[in-house]
Amino acid sequence: MTDQTALSFASKTAAGDGVAVVFAEEGPKLSPAAHDLDKKTGGLLARAAQITGFKGKKGTTVDVLAPQGIKFSRIVVVGMGKPASFGHEDWLNLGGTVRGLLSGREGASAHVYLEPVKGEVSPADASSFALGAQLRGYTFKKYKSKTPKKNGNANDDKTLKRLVIHCADPRAAGAAFAPDRAIVDGVNLARDLVNEPANVLGPAEFAQRAKALIKAGVQVEVLNDAALKKLGMGALLAVGQGSDKPSHVVVMQWKGAGPKGGAPIAIVGKGVTFDAGGISLKPASGMEEMKGDMAGAACVVGLMQALAERKAKVNAVGVIGLVENMPSGKAQRPGDVVTAKSGTTIEVLNTDAEGRMVLADCLWYTQDRFKPKAVVNLATLTGAVMVALGKEHAGLFSNNDELADWLIAAGTETGEKLWRLPLGPKYDKLIESKVADIKNTGGRWGGSISAAQFLQRFIKEGTSWAHLDIAGTAMSSVDSDVNRSWGSGFGVRLLDRLIKDHYERR
Ligand code: BES
Ligand code: MN
Ligand code: ZN
C-alpha cells in the first residue's frame, strides 16, 4: 500500500512536535537546527554524541528520548558525512534512511530540519530526499487481518501520520516534488502488483488493474484470448493454454507529446502472473516466488501511471503479455512446435522458458502496430542473470550502443543499476532448432544471453531495442535505503529518467 504518511514542506524555522530530525556533518559538526536544539536542551545532543562516540558519519545516528524543556518527544541527529559531494542518489538514500528511523511510536508527526552545517539544501535535493522517504514508507499489509485497536484512543494507532520537511525554500521544494509524487505512486503501484498473490491477481485481474489507468488519462485496451488468436499470437497463447485463466494482452497509450510528438517509445513487459514451469514443472522449493514473474508488466503499468500523473511530454506505449504458466492436460508439451505472430516457428524444448515466448508476440505486435522510436522490454526472464550479476544489477542487452549508454546512465542516476551483457551471432547459433526456426532454450551456458538472442529474433531490422532482465532486482529484492518491499518496483524510476532525459519534448 502507498505510504499513509502525508508529506509536506515548511520553512527552516517553523516549529514542530513529535519527532525532530536534525543533521550533523563529519566531526561531528551540528547543523544550525541541531545546534539550536542542543542549546534548548542544555547541551543534551552534544553530550549524547560524546557518550555514543557519534562522529557525524553518513548513516550513523544519535537518538534522544523525552528531552527536557522542549515540545519534541524525541530528537534524532543523523550523520550526513560530507554532503558537499552529494548527488541525487545520496539525497534519495538519506531520505530513505531517515524514514526508516521513524515508526510513529513517539508521535504522529515528524519534522525533518533538512540543512547541512553551512549553506542550504536545494529544492531539487529536498525533493530527492522526500522521494526517498516516501519510497521507504511503503508497506504491503493488505493481508494482515489485525488492525490497530479502535477504542477511541488516538495513541493506539502507531503509524506516522505527517512528515514535514523543513528547508530553505519550501515552496520551490514542493514544486520540485510534484513530479516525484507521481513517481512514488507509479513505483508503489508496481510494488503492489508484484506483491499480490497469484490467486488474487491472475491475467484478467491484472488487466483490470491496468484499466484503472484510464482515470489518469491513459488509453487502455484489453485484448482477450479470442482477439489474441485472431492476431496470431501463437507463442503467447501456447504458454497460457495449460491454465484455466485465459491470457490477455493490455495496450496502454499515453499521448503526452500530442500528434507532433511523432512515433512513441514503447515499453513491453513480461506478465506471467504465476510461473509453475508448465509440464517442465519447477521444483517445489521457492516456487511461491513465481507470483512475482509479472514484475516486468508491473513496471510498465507503474511507469505509464507515473508518466500520466506527471503529464510527461512524451508519446509512450506500454504493452504487457499476461498469462499463467501451469501444467495440465491442456498444457503445451516439450517438443511442441508453435508459430509466433511474426511467422517464426518455435520448438518448445522446455515449457519453463515461457517468458521469451510471451515477449516474442508482444514485441512483434508492438513494432507492427506502433512503429516505435525505440522498444525497451523488461522481464524476470532468467535465473541465470542472478548467477551472473547477483541482485544489485539488472542485465541489459541492446542492439543500440546509444540507447544502452542512456539506460546505464539513467541507472546510475536513480540507483537502479544495469550491467550490459553481450549479444552476437555465435550466441544466436545456440537457439537454432533441427525441426523449427528456433528453439526456446539455448543450453546450459550463458542462459541469459541465449534468452536475449531469442527475443532479438523478434526485433525488426532498424528498431532500437533494449532488453532488461530484472529477475534479480524486481522481486525477492534485497533491502535498500529506499525499499523494504518484496517487490521493489524496479524499473519505474529508471525508465522515467530515460524518458525525461531523452524522449520528452521540452
Ligand atoms: N521466471 C523464470 C526466471 C526466474 C527465475 C525469475 C528465478 C525469477 C527468479 C523463467 O521463466 C524461467 O523459468 N527461466 C528458466 C529458463 C530455462 C528453463 C532455460 C531458468 O532461468 O531456469
Ligand atoms: Mn519459467
Ligand atoms: Zn518465468
Instruction: Tell me which residue of 147, 269, 152 sits closest to 203, measured CA to CA.
Output: 269
Q: Residue 154 above 80 pLDDT?
A: no
Q: What is the mean pLDDT of residues 100-122?
A: 95
Cis peptide before 246 (omega within 30 of 0): no
- Indicate whether 3 pLDDT > 70: no
> Is the Cα dihedral 459, 314, 181, 79 positive or negative?
positive
Ion ligand 2 residue ranges (Cβ < 5 Å) = 275, 352, 354
Helix (H) or strand (E) holding 236: helix 234-240
Residues above pLDDT 90, as percent of the chain:
95
Does the CA dihedral 327-229-450-421 come out positive or negative? negative
Residue (of 468, 481, 463, 479) closest to 404 by Cα position:
468
Residues with Cβ within 8 Å of residue 383, at least 6 apart in sequence: 447, 471
Tens of pLDDT, residue by residue over 325-376, are: 999 999 999 999 999 999 999 999 999 999 999 999 999 999 999 999 999 9
Q: How much of the chain exceeds pLDDT 70, in percent?
A: 97
**CA gap 465, 45 in Å, rounded:** 54
What pLDDT score does 506 carry?
A: 81
How far away, in angstroms, is 294 Cα from ligand 1 center? 12
Each residue's pLDDT tens digit, 256-293: 999 999 999 999 999 999 999 999 999 999 999 999 99
Summary mean pLDDT of the chain: 96
pLDDT band at 501 (very low <50, low <70, confident <90, very high): very high
Spacing, Cα 196 to ligand 2 middle (Å): 19
Q: Amino acid letter at 171?
A: R
Provide the b/e sequence for 492-502 (b: ≥16 CB within 10 Å): bbbbbbbbbeb
Listed residues: CB within 5 A of ion ligand 3: 272, 275, 293, 355
Coil, helix or strand for 474?
coil
CA of 9 to the centre of ligand 3 (A): 43
| Candidates 136, 191, 356, 497; catalytic one | 356
Q: Which residue has the cell 501444467?
A: 327
pLDDT digits (tens, 9 = 90+) for 38-95: 999 999 999 999 999 999 999 999 999 989 989 999 999 999 999 999 999 999 999 9
The x, y and z cell numbers of residue 434, run together, are: 533441427
The pLDDT-based confidence of 29 (bands split at 50, 70, 90) is very high
What mean pLDDT comes out for the span 100-105?
A: 94
Angle subtended by helix axes 492-502 and 295-309, to nearest 10 = 50
Measured CA angle at 128 (ends 126, 133), to 5 deg? 95
Query: From the CB of 3, is ligand 1 less than 6 Å away?
Result: no
CB 324 within 8 A of CB 506: no
Summarize the confidence of residues 399-423 as an average pLDDT.
98
- The finding on whether 241 has its CB within 6 A of some atom of ligand 1 is no
Give dist(CA 48, CA 351) in Å, integer.
Answer: 61
Residue 255 C-alpha cell reads as 499521448
Cβ neighbours around 127 below 10 Å, total? 28
Q: Computed over its alpha carbons, how large is the radius of gyration of the chain? A: 25
| Cα–Cα distance for residue pair 157/155, rounded to 1 Å | 5
| Catalytic-residue membership of 282 | yes
b/e string for 364-403 if b means 16 or more Cβ within 10 A? bbbbeebebbbbbbbbbbbebbbebbebebbbbbbbeeeb
* 505 confidence band (pLDDT: 50, 70, 90): confident
- Tally the C-alpha atoms within 13 A of residue 343's C-alpha that lie toward its C-beta: 2
Task: Please state the rounded mean pLDDT for residues 312-334.
Answer: 98
Closest CA to 392 of 421, 420, 416: 416
Ligand 1 center to residue 198 CA distance, Å? 17
H-helix segments, 241-330:
295-309
pLDDT of residue 4: 75
Which three three-digit cell numbers place residue 120? 542550504
Catalytic residue among 57, 282, 391, 420: 282
Q: What is the arithmetic mean of pLDDT over 392-401?
A: 98
Confidence (pLDDT) at 146: 75
DSSP helix/strand/coil, 11: strand
Q: Is the pLDDT of residue 150 over 60?
A: no
Maximum distance among all Cα pairs of the chain, rounded to whole angstroms:
83
For a substitution probing ligand 1, which of 281, 348, 352 has the most ligand atoms within 8 Å of its CB?
352
Please name which ligand lies nearest the alpha carbon of 431: 1
500 is catalytic: no
Is any ligand 1 atom within 6 A of the Cβ of residue 471?
yes
Say if ligand 1 is within 6 A of residue 238 CB. Answer: no
Give the confidence band of 149 by pLDDT, cuts at 50, 70, 90.
Answer: low
Strands (DSSP E) found in 82-185: 109-113, 162-167
